Amino acid sequence: MPTQFPDEPPTERHLAPDPQLMEAARARGAARWAAAGDRVEQEEQPKQIGPLKPRAAAIAAIVALLVLGGIAIITFNGGSGDGATDIANPSHSYIPGMITPPEDLPEDSASNSQNPTLASSALGLMPTTTQNAVPPPAPGDAGRAAGGAKSFTTGPGCGGYTSVGSYRDGKKGWVDRGDGKCGSTFVSIPMSGDSRRDDSSAYGLWTFAVTGTCDVSVHVPNGGLEEVGGNPTVYNVYDRNGVGGTPLASFAIKQVDKRGQWVSAGKFKASGNLTVQLLTRGQDWNNSGPTYAHHAASAIKADCTA
C-alpha cells in the first residue's frame, strides 16, 4: 500500500519543563553535595624526568665544572676589589731572601758603579765596594788588616782551596791558569749551561778556620770570556767547614765587569769555620753556538775580628 504524505509538514511541539520536577532535581543535588562535604583540590604533581641520555649527562657535567671553575678563579683572585691579593708563584729556583737572580742584576750605570756586587743574607750585608787592582796577599795569616782585624787569604796557589768535580776536556773543561803561585794563579771553571741551574757535582770551594765577624773580598783576575766570563758568578757562604743545608748568605759578582779588581762581598759571622762556594750556574753559549765561557776562581780574603 503506497505511503501517503500529508500535504502540510508536521508541526514541531515544544513542551515546557515541569517546575516541580526541576525543583526536586535541584534539591537532590544539594543533598548529595552536603553529604560529601568540601573537597580539597588535588595539587598538580611535577612531571617525572626520566634518566638523561649519556651524551646529555656528559654535557651537563662539563657545564657544571666550567661554572664551578669560574667561581674558584674569582675566589682565588680575590675578585675585582681594591683589597684583592693575588697568590704569588715562584718564578725561579733561587732561595727567597738568600740569592740575587742573575736576571735581576741591574745594568752598570752612574748610580751603581760603586756597587758592583749584589748580595743578601740573614745578617744583612754591608755595602759592596770595588778596590783598586792589586795582587792577592800572601797565603794564610798575613798579619793585621785595617782596624786590627786578622787577614786570611785562600785560593789556588794559596792553600785552603779545592776544585770539586774538576775534569780536563781542553777548553770545555777545567783549566788551570797562571804559574801556580799565590797571587798569579786561578782556575777557569766550566759553566752548567743554564743561568738558573747548577751542576751540583762541580764547584769551587774556599775554607777559612776563623771566628768572629769577617769582611770577605773576592779577587777577579784578568782574562777573556773563556777565562773570566761570569755574568754573574754566584757564591754561597756557610758558617761551617764545607757545604750543606741552607747557606748563611749568597752574593753575585759580574766578573766580566770587574776583571783585575778586588770586590767586597760583605761581612759574615763565623763560629770556627767559614766556607765560600762558587756555583756553576751560567750560560756558556749564544745563538751562534758555544762560547766556552768560564767562571774564574781566584783568591778570596777574609779580614776577621773576634
What is the distance between the alpha carbons of residues 38 and 74, in angstroms, rounded to a whole number?
Answer: 56
Query: Please, what CATH class does the domain formed by 102-305 belong to?
Result: mainly beta
What is the distance between the alpha carbons of residues 162 and 253, in angstroms, rounded to a whole number?
Answer: 20
Tell me the average pLDDT of the chain. 73
Which of the pair, 246 or 114, is modelled with greater confidence? Answer: 246
User: Do the strands 233-238 and 274-278 form a parallel or antiparallel pair, or are they unpaired?
Assistant: antiparallel
Q: Give pLDDT tens digits for 10-19.
A: 554 555 566 7
Count the Cβ atoms, other than its own, within 10 Å of residue 258.
21
Domain boundaries, the chain: 102-305
CB 282, CB 202: distance < 8 Å:
no
249 half-sphere exposure, CB direction, 13 A CA radius: 20
What is the distance between the alpha carbons of residues 189 and 9, in angstroms, rounded to a whole number?
Answer: 134
Q: Would you say the pTM of this structure is higher than 0.85? A: no
pLDDT band at residue 83 using 50, 70 and 90 as cut-offs: very low
